Amino acid sequence: MSRLGVISDSHIPERASEFPESFRERISTADQVLHAGDFTSGEVLAEVESLADGHLTAVYGNMDPWNLDLPAVDTLAIEGVSFVVAHGTGAPDDYEERVAKIVREEAGEDAIGIAGHTHQVLDTTREGIRLLNPGSVTGAAPASRATMMTIDVDDGNLDVMVHEA
């Protein structure tokens, strides 16, 4: 079994000052951390890399500085499950369709999509693709609270948990 820590939309320092302490613990004990963009600074990226002890898959968000040198989309396979990580940048009205299309193009129908951007927790299926959004790890506006997900992956099975700080 592998435990993933799934976070997004840090927005430090312009909308939040730090990660909640309970989330720092979950991030540092995860086997792999996925960050779906909007670190908004190199210092925050470095902090997450340190907390993840190098086990970080991260993508570029629309608020990130260009020099973070992150991909727009990344894929990884864990315990028989393919994950596609993207930020989900764009208008809210077609968010789910847009992210599902990215997942399908990158890894096919059986992959799980991880995206951020909206700051709202989401666990839904769109066009046959399961989409997960952990919300904002710091509770940055427009979120009403700080949230993250952990995903236990065991031989192709997922157990998704939402955590609030």
For residue 77, what is the domain's CATH number?
3.60.21.10
Report how far residue 52's alpha carbon sits from residue 126's, in angstroms, rounded to the nearest whole number. 30
Name the DSSP letter for residue 8.
Answer: -
* 7-60 tens-digit pLDDT: 999 999 988 999 999 999 999 999 999 999 999 999 999 999 999 999 999 999
Q: What pLDDT, on a 0 to 100 scale, did the predictor assign at position 30?
A: 98
Q: What is the pTM of this model?
A: 0.97
Q: Is 17 strand, coil or helix?
A: coil
| Identity of residue 85 | V
Question: Which is nearest to 106 in space by CA: 140, 73, 155?
Answer: 73
Range(s) of the domain holding residue 139: 2-164
pLDDT confidence of residue 94 = 96
Of 37, 35, 39, 69, the closest CA to residue 55 belongs to 35
Q: 102 with 116: CB under 8 angstroms?
A: no
Distance CA 35, CA 79 (A): 19
Count of domains observed in the chain:
1
Q: What average pLDDT does the segment 106-120 reach?
A: 97
Paired tokens of 127: 């066009």
In this prediction, residue 147 carries a pLDDT of 98
Mean pLDDT for all residues in the chain: 96
